Amino acid sequence: MIEKTPLISIIINTHNDVEYIEEAIDSALNQTYQNFEIILYDNASEKKVFDVAQKYKDKLIYRRSESFLTLGAARNAAIAESKGEFITFLDADDIFLPQKLEMQFPLFSDPEVGLVYSNTFHLIKNNDSWVDEELHEQPMPDGNIFSNLLKGNFIPFNTAVIKRAVLENDKSKWFNESFDFCTDYDLFLRISYKYKVKYISEPLGKWRIHGSNYTFTKPHLISAERYLMMPRILDYEPELFDKYKKEMNCFVAEIFLDMSRYFIHIGQRHRAIACVLNALMNDLSSKNFRVLMHYLFSGIKNKI
């Protein structure tokens, strides 16, 4: 049985992200659940991040790496500095809503639950203001969600709370230190394979969408890391492809689709078509067929 108000570690990783970081820190400090610590982990930034940290020096723990780390390694270094029984992550350009931790923590009363997540708002720039849009309009999976998660990562990183014991039981379930883009997806798959995951439909955070989000700027590298996730997934059990054949085929197909979008973006139509054909070999869905028809019968003037 967990204590009534255990310590929750809020981890903020940053590398020269100062435009929104004070708003992020303030949103963590304004939680209605008050037993928390904030770890601000500075990944070899310029002095300006240190200057921001000094404004909050009595309210957070500041740590800095002298050399630049991959995102996976930086997240692990921050976890190593934390002491909470539960861990949650807040990227330096995102926001927690005030009741996030208070609403999520009670769901861990079920000892089989290893992760709790929620809906979130997209924070989208509209002229000179930011507009909120809910990410998920429909109820999302909870409970045993591994097979659902193989079809794509639907867990907003800024909403996830993880039980520390899940990580401490096996360090391989920490973030992959060779990854920069799929660190969260890789971790969520590993957690969901052995633990229940619970979902709250109310948005409890804001995920800021802007031009420098990795998701939109480096799709080919995201695809490459997803491909490298497969051997790690097969570590769970050798028969995984047989046990989750449909879902694993969908997982592989989505990797090839991501790669095809990248090749279209850089004007390499033939390579894009080859990737979609590989996607169809794994998943004969109407969506994949429509993408193939689009690539076959349209030019590449309008990049996607």
CATH of residue 204: 3.90.550.10
Q: Of 215, 249, 272, which marks where a domain is finished?
A: 215
Helix ranges (DSSP H) in the chain: 21-29, 47-55, 71-81, 100-104, 146-150, 164-168, 183-194, 214-217, 219-234, 240-243, 245-265, 269-282, 286-297
230 class by beta-carbon count within 10 Å (0-12 exposed, 13-18 middle, 19+ buried)? middle
- State both tokens at 272: 């894009």
Q: Clarify whether residues 202 and 131 are in a common domain.
A: yes
In a domain, 54, yes or no: yes
Residue 106 lies in a domain: yes
Residues 144 and 265 in one domain: no
- Per the DSSP assignment, residues forming a β-bridge with 143 are 197
Domain containing 29 equals 8-215
Q: Is residue 3 part of a domain?
A: no
Rounded-to-integer distance, Cα 10 and Cα 60, Å: 10
**What tens-digit pLDDT sequence spans the chain (304 residues)?**
566 899 999 999 999 999 999 999 999 999 999 999 999 999 999 989 999 999 998 999 999 999 999 999 999 999 999 999 999 999 999 999 999 999 999 999 999 999 999 999 988 877 777 777 888 888 899 999 999 998 889 999 999 999 999 988 766 668 988 888 889 999 999 899 889 999 999 999 999 986 555 554 566 677 778 878 877 777 766 777 788 888 888 888 888 888 888 888 788 888 889 999 989 998 888 878 888 888 888 754 444 4
Largest CA distance in the chain: 61
In a domain? residue 304: no
Name the domain count of the chain.
2
Q: Do 208 and 248 share a domain, yes or no?
A: no
Same domain assignment for residues 258 and 120: no
Judgement on whether residues 127 and 168 belong to the same structural domain of the protein: yes
Q: What is the pTM of this model?
A: 0.86
